[in-house]
């Protein structure tokens, strides 16, 4: 195979050393984009889940709507929102990106929250009522804690997905670590180091955060450890 001169050498550690500041900045940007998306996403998902749980008939509609947002590729959602929010200022670009990222998380979060609560065993719910828990007390003290595993699973999936999607926001001028991926490509000579750094760090970030969330989930559910059967 003839090596074309289309790219620079495969990995340039010097570049990494020289650009640690930029790498750090972009990582922080990545985390910020992810964090905001998840926080807003969880808040909206909780509200919609409560609606779906109180009025089960709304659930199919809610699922259909959020499913729509989920199916449309993130890039297209950016593109649908951008003309209306604008991409002139950094704030506008941030908002455009966040709207798309948040809408991607909704389906999975809502589905897991609703399923998590619905799957609390009927016997447990009945026993709680029969013993004299008021409705609010019961939901807060019994059903919610038992829904934690399902909710955490949803949060993990949503978070890892968002971390991947943040890279696409590079097309909007943001990108977090995706900035390096796009920048490496767009140079006059393709620069693999940047691309590799961008991809590797995204994956690393996703893996670390996933494991942390897994750990947090374990801490929150001491009863699910060491089951005999």
Partner 1 sequence: MDFLSDVISWFAETGRWTGDDGIIPRTIEHLWLASLPMLIAVVVALPVAVWLGHRRIGGFLANAVVNIGRAVPSFGLIILAAVFFARAGVSLRFWPGAVALLALAIPPIFTNAYAAIVTVPGETVEAARGMGFTENETLWRIEVPMGAPLILAGIRISFIQVLATVPLAAVLSSGGGLGQYVVRGFAQGASGLVEVFAGAVLIAALTLGADWLLSRGERLVLPEGLRRRGSDEIRAAASIS
Partner 2 sequence: MIRLDNVTKMFAGGTHPAVDGLSLAVGRGEFVVLVGPSGCGKTTTLKMINRLIEPTSGRIEVDGRDVMTVPPHELRRSIGYVIQQVGLFPHRTIGQNVATVPRLLGWEETRISDRVRELIELVGLEGSMLGRYPAELSGGQQQRVGVARALAADPPVLLMDEPFGAVDPIVRARLQDEFLELQSRLEKTVVFVTHDIDEAILLGSRIAILNVGAVLEQHDTPEGILAKPANGFVESFIGGERGLKRLALRAINQAGVSRGPVVDVTATTEEAAKVMGEHGVSWVGLLSGERLLGWVDGSEIEGRPLAELTPHEFLVSLRSDSSLRAALDAVVTSHARVAVVVDDGIYRGMLDLEAIAEEITE
Which CB sits closer to partner 2, 88 or 222?
A: 222
Query: Cα–Cα distances in Å, from 83 out to 66, 93, 172?
Result: 21, 11, 12
Out of 71, 91, 141, 212, the only residue in the binding site for partner 1 (CB under 8 A) is 71
Out of 35, 86, 145, 215, the only residue in the binding site for partner 2 (CB under 8 A) is 145
At closest approach, how far in Å is the CB of 111 from partner 2? Answer: 22
- The answer to whether 201 and 163 have CB atoms below 8 angstroms apart is no
- The answer to whether 163 and 178 have CB atoms below 8 angstroms apart is no
Out of 108, 113, 152, 174, the only residue in the binding site for partner 1 (CB under 8 A) is 108
**In the range 109-128, which residues lie near partner 2 by CB under 8 A?**
121-128
- Strand, coil or helix: 7: strand
Q: How far is the C-alpha of 9 from the C-alpha of 75, rounded, in Å? A: 31
Out of 40, 149, 192, 221, the only residue in the binding site for partner 1 (CB under 8 A) is 192
At closest approach, how far in Å is the CB of 227 from partner 2? Answer: 5
Which CB sits closer to partner 2, 84 or 223?
A: 223
Out of 80, 129, 200, 211, the only residue in the binding site for partner 2 (CB under 8 A) is 129
CA-CA-CA-CA torsion sign (30, 69, 112, 52): positive
Residue 229 sits in the site that holds partner 2 (CB under 8 A)? yes
Report the first-to-last Cα separation within the chain, whole angstroms.
Answer: 57
């Amino acid at each position: 195979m003839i090596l074309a001169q289309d790219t620079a050498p495969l990995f340039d550690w010097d570049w990494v050393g020289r650009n640690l500041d930029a790498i750090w900045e972009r990582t922080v940007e990545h985390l910020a984009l992810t964090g905001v998306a998840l926080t807003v996403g969880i808040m909206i998902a909780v509200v919609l889940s409560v609606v779906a749980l109180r009025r089960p008939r709304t659930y199919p509609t809610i699922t259909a709507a959020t499913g729509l947002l989920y199916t449309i590729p993130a890039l297209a959602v950016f593109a649908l929102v951008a003309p209306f929010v604008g991409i002139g200022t950094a704030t506008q670009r941030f908002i455009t990106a966040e709207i798309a990222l948040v809408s991607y998380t909704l389906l999975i979060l809502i589905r897991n929250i609703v399923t998590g609560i619905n799957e609390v065993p009927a016997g447990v719910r009945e026993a709680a009522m029969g013993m004299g828990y008021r409705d609010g007390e019961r939901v807060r003290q019994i059903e919610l804690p038992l829904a934690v595993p399902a909710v955490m699973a949803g949060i993990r999936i949503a978070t890892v997905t968002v971390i991947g999607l943040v890279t696409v926001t590079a097309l909007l001028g943001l990108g977090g670590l995706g900035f390096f991926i796009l920048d490496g490509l767009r140079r006059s000579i393709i620069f693999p180091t940047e691309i590799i750094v961008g991809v590797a760090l995204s994956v690393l970030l996703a893996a670390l955060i996933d494991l942390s969330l897994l750990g947090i989930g374990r801490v929150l559910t001491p009863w699910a450890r060491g089951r005999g059967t």
